[in-house]
Amino acid sequence: MPTAPTSSRGFSLPLALSSSSLTLAKHEGNLLVGIAAQPGGPVEVAALRGETPISTDELGFEIGDRSAAVKPCGRGCSRVEAQVLSGSPVRLSVRAGSATVTFKLPARLPPDGDQVFARAERTMDRLHSFRFTERLSSGREVVKTRLEVQAPNRLRLRTSGGYRAVIIGRNRWDYAEGHWERGPFPGFDVAGVLMWSRAKHPRIVARRPHGVTELAAFGLQPVPAWFRVAVNPSGRVLEAEMIAASHFMVHRYSDFDGDISITPPVRK
C-alpha cells in the first residue's frame, strides 16, 4: 500500500497513488470531491469545502439509488465498500449539504495510459514554443491569463486584470504603475508550466473525435491534485485540467512551435 498523500490543506487518500486505482474529481463552487476506486472496491472519497476537509458523518453516499456503507479512512477521507469496476457501470453520488456530486464509474478499470502520457511529456518538452490560456478559480472568483512560452526558459503573460510579466531564466520583469520593474527569479524551464507533468498512473478514460485521448491521473506535485489531460495523436496536449483544494485550473494549448520571440521588455 502506498503512503497516504496528505496535503497542507488537510486531506488524505491512501489509494490515490496505487497503480491499480482510477482517480477522478469534480467540483461545485468551492466544494471538491475526489475519488480513488479499485476493481471490486473499495472507493475512497476525499471531500473538502475550500481548504477544509469534510468528515464522513457530514456527508451522504449513494451507490445507484441506495445508501452506501461508509467509514472514515483519514482526514477528509471516507471509504465506501462497494463492488465497482467489476463488470457493471456504477453511479456513486456524494452529498455535502445542498450539493451533490455524482461519478459514473465504468464497468471495468480503464486501460493504462502510461505510454500516451509519456509520449505527451516527450512531445511537449521538445517544443520550441507554444501559447496557452489559463482559467484559475478558487470556486468563486476567476482569473484568466494568456501565456506564451519559448524554450528553454522564457515566458510572457498577461492576466484578465491587466497584470503583465516576463520571465527569462533567472530574471523577471513585472509591469506596475506604468513601468517595468526587474527582479531576480529562482529559475524556470518549460516543464514548470505544465502543471500535469508530474501526475502518476494515468488511465485512459475517454476517446474524443480526431483521435484525441483523455487521461485521468492523480499527483502530489505541484500540490496533491487530480488531473485530466487531452492528448492528440501527435502527442501534443490540447487541454489539461487540475482540481485541487481551492484551486481549479484549466489550460488550453495552441500555436505549437509558432513564431514566438520573448525578449526583455523595453523600460518606459
The pTM for the full model equals 0.92
Pure H helices in the chain: 114-126
Quick one: how far is CA 53 from the chain centroid?
A: 18
Grid coordinates of 6? 496528505
87 closest CA partner among 66, 68, 103, 109: 109
Measuring CA to CA, how many Å separate 4 from each of 13, 56, 75, 78, 195? 6, 17, 10, 13, 21
Cα–Cα distance, 130 to 32 (Å, whole number):
31
Domains of the chain: 14-105 (2.60.40), 114-254 (2.50.20.10)
Q: Of the given ranges (19-23, 192-196, 244-248), which has the lowest mean pLDDT? A: 192-196
Measuring CA to CA, how many Å separate 206 from each of 107, 177, 209, 215, 231? 13, 47, 10, 7, 11
> Residue 146 pLDDT > 50, yes or no?
yes
pLDDT digits (tens, 9 = 90+) for 242-265: 999 999 999 999 999 999 999 999
Mean pLDDT of the chain: 93
Residue 2's pLDDT is: 33
Instruction: Cis check for the bond before 42: say yes or no (omega within 30 of 0).
Output: yes
> Residue 3 pLDDT > 70, yes or no?
no
Cα–Cα distance, 2 to 16 (Å, whole number):
8
